[in-house]
Amino acid sequence: MAEFDVDLFVIGGGSGGVRAARIAANYGAKVMVAEEYRMGGTCVIRGCVPKKLFVIGSHVHQEIEDAVGFGWSIGQVSFDWATLVANKDKEIARLEGAYTSNVEKSGARIVKTRAVLEDAHTVRLATGEKVTAKYILIATGGAPNHGPAVPGIEHVISSNEAFHLKQLPKRIVIQGGGYIALEFAGIFAGFGSDVTVVYRGDNILRGFDEDVCKHVRSEMEKRGITIITGCTVAKVDKHGKDYTTHLSNGSSIASDQVMFAIGRHPNVRGLGLEAAGVAINPANGGIQVDGWSKTSVDNIYAVGDVTHRTNLTPVAIREGHAFADTVFGKRPVQVDHATIPTAVFSQPEVGTVGLTEEEARAQYSHVDIYKTDFRPIKATMSGRDTRVLMKLVVDGASDRVLGCHIVGDAAAEITQAVAIAVKMKATKADFDATVALHPTASEELVTMRTPTARHVRQAAE
């Protein structure tokens, strides 16, 4: 008789857990996956996929406006929010089915229920069934964080509810200055809503390159989005179907929807972590793991947003795959969390990889900056007041490109390709030796010859 019911029990059917389950099963492991909600996790069900679909839809109005300069005369147009939501729901259901099917095809078994740890090798299901496992992987992701409770917090929605609103808000207040807040600001503005963004920091996109933050803010404000910084929401009052949002600076804003997007917290509550001896990282509130994604308990691992390391879907997938390779493939693989490309699907779009100028200047004695902002070719005919930003951060001593930052159309697509070069430690000379692809915006990355700034850190005496 087998010592354990399964070789691997995965708690969470999101991107990281699904990848780990499939790869482990392919190695011959007996695998069970527990998911209490819907297969696919945050990204597929209520995150990056539906968000990107909404972003694409919200671009159409601008495309119609820009078409006039190219000779198109487009008559009366209308937008139906309910159709968008319904079609999005169909696509998410299709993807959920694909995720479920792919797991089952690998030979792993899915149980649609909550799972809680009883000890290091035992999981109790909400059905009352107990399952013993040689290894356990926690991949429960994260959830929206509403921060300190303010009066009227019950009236506030998160990004989760934003995907299922019955109607498009005419006016919306969004608190937050990161990925989710700015992406939804662009989405709602693109569909015609009056949008106000409220953020506690000095500027939006904390942690991004300062030039990126300034450029994105300027471009968003050109598009009619109001951005209020150095301020927080103090109270939300409801009057019938409308709301009054009171700010910490004493002002107030009327709207018919209020959304908070001020961060996410790891889903660690109620999992039985204490019973199993799994430690929480006091620095970030996520499950504490080592470089192999192993927790404080030898046979229990954790991947993805629940560890609160780098909260990006492709990172969770890479971590889940590496875990399965290491534990079941007997092929030790560690995930390199350095030089991870990322995008903000704001409007305009942001793509970035590597170090910001501020980070580079803190780590390297000689830093060269190559930067340009220009009117894209489309705007010369459309007449739209918009500019593209491109920036390279270079180690002045070795000539290695340390970072690339792009704001403008297709920034994410360009950055994915540039990330390969940055990961390979390409030099500025390598970029310069690459023939430009004309006419494109991205050719600027290989035609910037003269530094716009050079920084030399004086050695301490």
Predicted local confidence at residue 147, as pLDDT: 76
- Mark whether 292 and 256 lie in a shared domain: no
Structural domain including 139 reads 6-144+265-327
* Number of folded domains that form the chain: 3
Domain for residue 338, yes or no?
Answer: no
Residue with tokens 């909400």: 126
- Mark whether 275 and 252 lie in a shared domain: no
Domain for residue 459, yes or no?
Answer: no
- Mark whether 171 and 307 lie in a shared domain: no
181 close to 175: Cβ distance less than 8 angstroms: yes
Q: Which of 231, 262, 293 is the last residue of a domain?
A: 262
- Mark whether 270 and 256 lie in a shared domain: no
Q: Which of 220, 241, 262 is the last residue of a domain?
A: 262
Predicted local confidence at residue 460, as pLDDT: 47
User: CA 158, CA 181: separation in Å to the nearest integer?
Assistant: 10
Cα Rg of the chain (Å, integer): 24
- Mark whether 279 and 140 lie in a shared domain: yes
Q: Which of 155, 164, 337, 438 is catalytic?
A: 438
Predicted local confidence at residue 457, as pLDDT: 85
Predicted local confidence at residue 459, as pLDDT: 58
122 close to 4: Cβ distance less than 8 angstroms: no
Predicted local confidence at residue 461, as pLDDT: 44
Q: Which of 362, 358, 370 is nearest to 401 (CA)?
A: 370
pTM of the model: 0.94
- Mark whether 32 and 128 lie in a shared domain: yes
Per-residue pLDDT of the chain (461 residues; tens, 9 = 90+): 479 999 999 999 999 999 999 999 999 999 999 999 999 988 888 899 999 999 999 999 999 999 999 999 999 999 999 999 999 999 999 999 999 999 999 999 999 999 999 999 999 999 999 999 999 999 999 988 877 889 999 999 999 999 999 999 999 999 999 999 999 999 999 999 999 999 999 999 999 999 999 999 999 999 999 999 999 999 999 999 999 999 999 999 999 999 999 989 999 999 999 999 999 999 999 999 999 999 999 999 999 999 999 999 999 999 999 999 999 999 999 999 999 999 999 999 999 999 999 999 999 999 999 999 999 999 999 999 999 999 999 999 999 999 999 999 999 999 999 999 999 999 999 999 999 999 999 999 999 999 999 999 875 44
Q: CB-based burial of residue 104 (10 Å sphere; 0-12 exposed, 13-18 middle, 19+ buried)?
A: middle
Domain for residue 367, yes or no?
Answer: yes
What CATH number did the domain enclosing 443 receive? Answer: 3.30.390.30
- List Cβ neighbours of 44 (8 Å cut-off, separation of 6 or more): 14, 15, 92, 95, 96, 99
- Mark whether 92 and 191 lie in a shared domain: no
- Active-site residue, 59 included: no
Predicted local confidence at residue 1, as pLDDT: 46
- Mark whether 235 and 381 lie in a shared domain: no
What CATH number did the domain enclosing 249 receive? Answer: 3.50.50.60
User: CA 376, CA 357: separation in Å to the nearest integer?
Assistant: 24
Domain for residue 436, yes or no?
Answer: yes
Domain for residue 107, yes or no?
Answer: yes
- List Cβ neighbours of 314 (8 Å cut-off, separation of 6 or more): 340
- Mark whether 132 and 41 lie in a shared domain: yes
